[in-house]
Amino acid sequence: MGAVVGLGVGIGLLLIWSAFVLPRTRVPRQASPLDRLLASADLGQVRPAGLVGLCVACGVTALVVAQIVSRTFPVAIAFGAMGGHLPITVVRSRARRRQRELAEVWPEAVDNLASAVHAGMSLPEALTALSVRGPEPLRPAFAAFGIDYQVSGRFFDALDRLKERLADPVGDRVVEGLRIAREVGGGDLGRVLRGLSGYLRDDARTRSELEARQSWTVNGARLAVAAPWLVLLLLCFQPQVIHRYATGAGVLVLAVGAAVCFGCYRLMLRIGRLPSERRILS
């Protein structure tokens, strides 16, 4: 019996010692929607907790200011919710703008890459050269790729980090195409890249024409959604009017109006949404 107790104590002490001494294997954290949103907006250095904290701070600030001006808590709650969602809206707008910008410059980058491969440069050299000869928005990512490859010498790991920095659907396709070409040793990489460049140009041209045609509709819908809340903001400076929203009927009007505005705006975005490319193997 004493031997069993001693063995159990020894195993317990060994487990306690191993918990503090032996190295731990870290399980990679799955990227959350906020992580992907920040990466697509080129804000990968910002943590999701920081963005959430900024949303809370903006929401509380808007609520306090609206409460001071209107002295009507339901109205302050409405403007606090809008203020809290403002950082997310700004980040999404930045992500869309960056995606459009990259879609315009990727054909030029692919052409430069195809020319470098045709001239006899290796794939790592051709990719690193884009940090100097490539389009301006893509140069930092390819400069970081060159540093990663020089430090580690592992081409595929450097490609993975490049794809994480770009966080772009077109970039994913280019990176995966280069990965396959490196693995199988494709000799027609230059021809494939030039074909991809032509496809990207046609796609960007078509998308820009469609966005230009529907921009007035989208802007009109945004103005229609914002107009009632701008009127409500102006009413905050009329105490005898804005205090009516503190009643049960006023709260019901605010709730129904917010639900209708949100639902109609989301429906408009869904109906007029253009097909967007999804990231692959990300």
Q: What are the pLDDT digits (tens) for 128-163?
A: 888 888 888 899 999 999 898 888 888 888 888 888
What length is written for the chain?
282
pLDDT at 195: 79
Query: Would you say residue 256 has pLDDT above 70?
Result: yes
pLDDT level of residue 126 (50, 70, 90 thresholds) = confident
- Global pTM reads 0.77
